[in-house]
Amino acid sequence: MTEASHPAVLQLLDDLEAGRVTRDEFAARVVERAAPADALDDVANTVEGLIAGIEEFKGVLGRSSDETAGLVLAAQRRFAIQLSATMLDAEPESDTQGSPTTSYKRLREELIRLSDRVADLVQSTIRDAQLRQELEIAGAVQRMLVPPTVVEMPGLRAASWFLPAEQCSGDWWNIARLGKEDVILMVGDVTGHGASAAIIAGTAKGALDMARVGMREALKPYMAMNMMNFILMESMKGEYFMSGVLARYEPSAKALRIANAGHRPPWIFRRSGTQTLPGDRSPPLGTSRGTKYAEQLVAFESGDILVVYTDGIPEAEDAEGNQLGERALRDVCEKASVDGPEAVCEAVRRKVVEHAGSLNHLGDDVTLLAVQAL
């Protein structure tokens, strides 16, 4: 039996999908072409099986949009072919009172049930497509919040590795001019990941941009941290937090001003050795209105490399659940630092792959920023 064997049934199916007929009208028009009562039981049984198949079919909604659309079309066509195979032009049998037989009623009920399931399936597919579109938009916005992999400015070169755990991420980083000579940079890590975390990351990045444009050379890291803390407290009401490291590079002084809001301590790799910057152990942004953030001043001379990273790297697990750890991460960065910031990022990426076996199953977002003074 081919699809062309009963075009009227296919047309009715198209009319139902397009809303040109109601579910009741669909059922009534189909049964007008029904076979005698002894065949109607077979049709009803077929429809019952198809209803069960559609219920199971809902499990494919996690697939891609193209796969889902193809499977929906295949299910609809199979139903039409099977139904048309048993449809004849005979009038339905009636009982002595002129009412349809029990088989006729059963078929009508099953067709109505089937149309309800099809309607549910279509709505579920639409919701799934809308969610995918929202995530794609959030991911596009996220990419706007993250600079290119390599950024070079007069006196400074930065490289990064950014890998979201989902389509969008709570990790973000930024680097920008501050006045004529100085540079401001930040790495942030919002609790959780996904669309909500990405929105919060965008809020924080917007607050930093406003402070940078409005205050210019007067902006210090501790000031920016206090501003972002206030905005996150106002907008998130304590439901989300963000750890972060914010630094201002001052080439004339060959120094960095650094503020740390509950983030893992960054490192500076020098020819003379490695320095850990523990900060003042302030809490993450969005934790408390009363928090006042501080900053520290450290030397940052030609050849020095600052490395800031988020939890997803040291917490990457192998097959047995063992984490990579800060010590192993620091060793990799230290060895690669002699070859520049890009080498640091690539060495860390390879180490994570070696440890976890794959980048496809990391439990958290990943951000690594390596910045070298030239």
Q: How confident is the model at residue 296 (pLDDT cuts 50, 70, 90)?
A: very high
pLDDT of residue 80 exceeding 90, the answer is: no
pLDDT in tens, 29-55: 655 554 455 455 555 555 555 555 555
The predicted structure's pLDDT at residue 154: 81
The answer to whether residues 145 and 139 touch, using CB atoms and an 8 Å cutoff, is no
Domains and CATH numbers, the chain: 3-132 (no CATH), 146-373 (3.60.40.10)
Residue 85 neighbours by CB distance under 10 Å:
14
Output DSSP code: residue 290. T
Angle among Cα 277, 316, 62 to the nearest 5 degrees reads 130
pLDDT in tens, 309-363: 999 999 999 989 999 999 999 999 999 999 999 999 999 999 999 999 888 878 7
| 290-304 mean pLDDT | 95
The predicted structure's pLDDT at residue 1: 38
The answer to whether residues 341 and 158 touch, using CB atoms and an 8 Å cutoff, is yes
What mean pLDDT, rounded, does the chain reach? 77
Of 144, 175, 142, the C-alpha closest to 256 is: 175
Output DSSP code: residue 321. S
The answer to whether residues 72 and 125 touch, using CB atoms and an 8 Å cutoff, is yes
pTM: 0.65
